[in-house]
Chains A and B, each alone.
Chain A
Amino acid sequence: MAISAATKAATDALAVNRAPVSVGAQEVHRWMQSFTWDFEKNRTKYSTKYKMANDTKEQFKLIAKEYARMESVKDERQFGSLQDVLTRVDAANRVHPKWNESMKVISNFLEVGEYNAIAATGMLWDSATAPEQKNGYLGQVMDEIRHTNQCGYINYYFAKQGQDAAGHNDARRTRAIGPLWKGMKRVFSDGFISGDAVECSINLQLVGEACFTNPLIVAVTEWASANGDEMTPTVFLSIETDELRHMANGYQTVVSIANDEAASKYLNTDLNNAFWTQQKYFTPVLGMMFEYGSHFKVEPWVKTWNRWVYEDWGGIWIGRLGKYGVQSPASLRDAKKDAYWAHHDLFMIAYALWPTGFFRVTLPTAEEAEWYEANYPGWYDMYGKVYDEWRARGCEDPDSGFLPLQWFIENNHPIYIDRVSQVPFCPSYCKGASTLRVLEYNGKKHSFSDQWGERMWLSEPERYECQNIWEQYEGRELSEVITEGHGLRSDGKTLISQPHTNKDGKMWTLDDIKKINCVFSDPLKAL
């Protein structure tokens, strides 16, 4: 069209229609795919054995500004609730103390996952070639920043308003002392960011988000609210509204590689490894946090697990990917067996190591013991009676001089750490499937608790050589380790962690620990 004619057309068009006109997000998004261009060195900095297709689409069609609008609306609601009515009704002081403690861990550990997901989706934004796919990952990068801040906000809120700020106020520093941290890093930190980019996407989105984030974020809100905590549902459900896009990103990633030959060779192995990696930690840890970290119970973890993990994820979600050659992981059956007892085994160890935590833990009460026995027949004979013994020996009382860890030593039940998952296990006293396997590599002994982790180790030991807490603390006395890791309250002597949440119970101090003279030793050295 000639230029002057175009101007005339604009004038004429205006004469006919003076209605205000704007531009919607989708009208911009439809051009997105053409924003990139080909050039010689246009390739990702993160290698992957898969090839992601250039024309991969993304279904949410957001642009930067629309993303911001959508999220800020959610923020207004969420922070409005927290700062207004929940504060006025003093909600943080109406949470059951056991749950107050659990949120120290849950919120902080989820924060780690959210934080690492920022880096993980940065990597995927880099490795995707299609601009729409890059855009989907960019949205997730921003979401994961949001979620990091939101998880932090929970600890911040509980610290400022709640009944026991210790641990909430310094989780980012004190979390590194205890036995749950390294395993956390494997699943929610390094597992998301270190490896083949697509393998990381499978860990993060296909398994982490699609399989475990649902129980973690959704089920946790039910447990929270039963135990008086309305802050966590307010924040976590707001987080969850972003997760749909993330699961779609994971789905699209599989779609983008589906036609690649490498997918038929490697995809199911990567998925199986990712599933086992994630479940090895989350199955016991989530079950433990829910059941042992609450007063009021919602349902036995094994039921939740079967519904979310086995049926919804292993069946429906993976089933939807079946047309792309994705199969239910071979390790799912073993995981299902573990989902019954693994969290009970882990709690025993976690409780025995309570002084290294940044939260207070509680032995099951009589009515809880009944609930466990009813839902997990055989529970009392294995665990309940040991807890009775510990309690009788004064494990909750600082004057007793008794740490349950001593029970493991006296009875010759060494606690090992699985090298690949970094999850502690006691092969001689457990009902779960853990069995001890020991391999030598690089002049060092390495223990493993299951065949799936051992396989990962055997094919790529250089990826999993990380030292464990026993190796780190070997020969050191417990109170020293606690002091060094800042495990003390602001009075400089009382431990943050405690073996009870009894409001009338005495709190343990560093001196109480010192008196016991508990020195760490690495059980692998004794082999």
Chain B
Amino acid sequence: MSIEVSGGRRGLTDPVLAAEIMAAIPDQPLETQRKMNYFMTPRGKRINEYEVLCCYTQPTPDWIPGGLDWGDWTQKFHGGRPSWSNESTEMRSSDWLKHRDPAFRWHALYVKDKAEEWRYTDRFLKAYSADGHVRSMDPVWRDEVLGDYLGAFGFSEYGLFNSHSSVVRDCLGDTLRMSSAMIGLDKVDNAQMIQIERTFLAKLVPGFPESTDIPKNEWTKGVIFKGSREVVQQIWQETYDWNEILFSGHMIYDPLFGQFVRREFFSRLSSYYGDTLTPFFINQMQLYFSQTKGITTDMFHTCLAADEQFGDYNIRLMRAWADKWLPRTITSLKDFMGIFSKIPEIKGVSDKPAIEAALGRVFDDWKHDFADPIGYKVDTAALIKTVLTGLK
């Protein structure tokens, strides 16, 4: 027969082709090592599917620690700057490919989770609307706080999202790159969920402004988000070191400012104002926060701080970065305190002692999860005191 086959004949199903193929196949498999990436060191007992599909996809030479390739880059930037280089960050590592998402999510697992969240969101919104739940929502909370300030917070999430673009370009490892893209996508998802909520409210409450104009005005010109806007801009556009971007965003700013705004303000207060809608979205954001925390603490604590060769140096650098980013984050929280004068006070919920307790929870968490692991000395009581001076 001719070896040129046409008409879409398939070797698997066409008996003539299949017979010829089968005759060529060795009687026994030629190789017994069937595990892909068998040469790598797994994080757990054995190499898992995430590690098979993600690890060593980064084609860096061995002078970038962890790389398996050799030699130079085949094309460089104008002027000769290399494709990827150790100089892109002040952090040092003996293996840039060591990071793992603790949940071992490769692309398919990541989108599967988010797809479920989307389907459930759709069902929830339908039930919420048909149930007439929106009638119980306090109008000031709804129109001023959700319409204006929740919308404005969306810009913080959107700016943080954009801070991941250069990380995705510059970082030195495959799992780092994939994780950074995923935690970046979660941030734009947060911004979009805020707009979903506002669009949804506009459908249920005639006259509720769906447009982003008012929130954007609040974000860019208002005083409540002034400090946070500046920090976000600095993380997004003024910081070039990809590790510093991740560290300032996910190890300082978001666990303090983001956590207070999401968990202690919007989520905690909403139920007091008859709002069961906002917690639905915030809870998703909090899920993303906890997944992101798993990722970035793996990057900075499990990998960089514990690096046998460079751990001490990295820890010192992280502390220096904390010194740089913490005061700005405190200012952003202090500015945010202005929001409490915009809502009707509820005793034990939104008065000063309650706010102080809320700040206490956020700072305690941060100290425990982010500061202590790198031996960063911090007087949280003093920081809280500074933040509280922002109360009007």
Contacts and interface: CB of A to CB of B under 8 A. Distances in A.
B80 to A, nearest CB: 4
B196 A190 contact: no
B11 A71 contact: no
A157 B389 CA distance: 61
A441 interface: no
Contact of B25 (A141, A182, A503): A503
B32 A22 contact: no
Of the listed residues B12, B169, B195, the one surrounded by the most CB atoms of chain A closer than 10 A to its CB is: B169
Contacts of B212: 31, 34-35
A65 B111 CA distance: 8
B29 A164 contact: yes
Contact of A21 (B17, B25, B203, B240): B203
Interface string A167-196: 011101100100000110110011101111
Contacts of B74: 182-183, 185-186, 189-191, 422, 464, 466
A438 interface: no
A10 B207 CA distance: 9
Interface stretch (B160-168, B265-273, B304-312, B366-374): B160-168
B3 A72 contact: no
Determine the main DSSP class of A at the interface with B: helix
Interface in B130-165: 130, 132, 134-135, 137, 139-140, 142-143, 154-155, 158, 162, 164-165
Given A10-B204, A95-B11, A298-B5, A146 B33 contact: no
B111 A75 contact: yes
B108 to A, nearest CB: 5
B195 A65 contact: no
A272 interface: no
Contacts, number: 403
B80 A462 contact: yes
B34 A165 contact: yes
A93 B75 CA distance: 39
A91 B162 CA distance: 44
Nearest to B107: A146
A63 B18 CA distance: 45
Interface string B183-226: 01110110111011001100111111011110010011000000
Interface stretch (B64-72, B329-337, B357-365): B64-72
A379 to B, nearest CB: 15
A166 B169 CA distance: 32
Given A65-B114, A97-B25, A142 B185 contact: yes
A428 interface: no
Interface in B99-125: 106-108, 110-115, 117-119, 121-122, 125
B165 A169 contact: no
B35 interface: yes
A153 B53 contact: yes
B117 A163 contact: no
A499 to B, nearest CB: 14
Given A96-B21, A228-B12, A296-B5, A64 B192 contact: yes
B326 interface: no
Given A112-B59, A189-B59, A463 B106 contact: no
Band of interface residues on B: 35 or more
Of the listed residues A1, A45, A72, A93, the one surrounded by the most CB atoms of chain B closer than 10 A to its CB is: A72
A493 interface: no
A134 B162 contact: yes
A230 B12 CA distance: 7
Contacts of B113: 68
B192 A75 contact: no
B178 interface: yes
B342 interface: no
B30 interface: yes
Contacts of B29: 162-165
A152 B24 contact: no
A68 B31 contact: no
A22 B122 CA distance: 6
A381 interface: no
Contacts of A186: 74-75
A169 B33 contact: yes
Nearest to A135: B188
B127 interface: yes
Contacts of B378: none
A297 interface: yes
A351 to B, nearest CB: 19
A111 B54 CA distance: 10
B318 to A, nearest CB: 22
A446 interface: no
Interface in B70-89: 70-84
B131 to A, nearest CB: 9
A89 B13 CA distance: 11
B219 A96 contact: no
A39 B233 contact: yes
A218 interface: no
A163 to B, nearest CB: 6
A338 B112 CA distance: 45
Interface in A213-265: 222, 225-230
A236 to B, nearest CB: 15
Interface in A1-54: 1, 3-7, 9-11, 13-14, 18-23, 27-28, 31, 34-39, 41-43, 45-46
Band of interface residues on A: 35 or more
B4 A14 contact: no
Contact of B199 (A23, A67, A95): A23
A118 B135 contact: no
Contacts of B129: 19-22
Nearest to A127: B165
Contacts of B188: 64, 135, 138
A520 to B, nearest CB: 14
Contacts of B170: 119
B180 to A, nearest CB: 8
Given A97-B26, A142-B185, A490-B31, A472 B71 contact: yes
A145 interface: yes
Contacts of A126: 162, 165-166, 169
Given A22-B122, A142-B185, A149-B54, A14 B135 contact: yes
A65 B112 CA distance: 10
Interface in A270-307: 295-299
Contact of B143 (A6, A189, A295): A6
Given A297-B5, A466-B72, A122 B143 contact: no
Lowest 9 CB-CB distances: which A-B pairs, in order? A122-B168, A228-B11, A20-B126, A68-B114, A65-B118, A126-B165, A64-B189, A1-B207, A190-B75
Interface of B: 2-6, 8-12, 17-18, 20-22, 24-27, 29-39, 49, 52-54, 56-59, 68-84, 106-108, 110-115, 117-119, 121-122, 125-127, 129-130, 132, 134-135, 137, 139-140, 142-143, 154-155, 158, 162, 164-170, 174, 177-178, 181-182, 184-186, 188-189, 191-193, 195-196, 199-200, 203-208, 210-213, 216, 219-220, 229, 233, 237-238, 240
21 contacts: A7-B135, A11-B132, A20-B125, A22-B122, A41-B233, A42-B233, A65-B118, A68-B110, A69-B115, A73-B115, A96-B11, A122-B169, A146-B111, A153-B53, A160-B34, A164-B31, A165-B34, A169-B38, A183-B74, A222-B8, A472-B71
Interface of A: 1, 3-7, 9-11, 13-14, 18-23, 27-28, 31, 34-39, 41-43, 45-46, 63-69, 71-73, 75, 79, 89, 91, 93-98, 111-112, 115-116, 118-123, 125-126, 134-135, 138, 141-142, 145-146, 148-149, 152-153, 155-156, 159-160, 162-166, 168-170, 172-173, 176, 182-183, 185-186, 189-191, 193-196, 222, 225-230, 295-299, 367-368, 371, 422, 460, 462-467, 472, 486, 489-490, 501, 503, 507
Given A23-B199, A146-B111, 20 more contacts: A13-B206, A19-B129, A95-B11, A96-B11, A115-B59, A118-B168, A125-B162, A148-B53, A152-B57, A156-B53, A159-B34, A163-B30, A165-B29, A170-B39, A191-B75, A194-B75, A194-B76, A226-B10, A226-B11, A489-B31
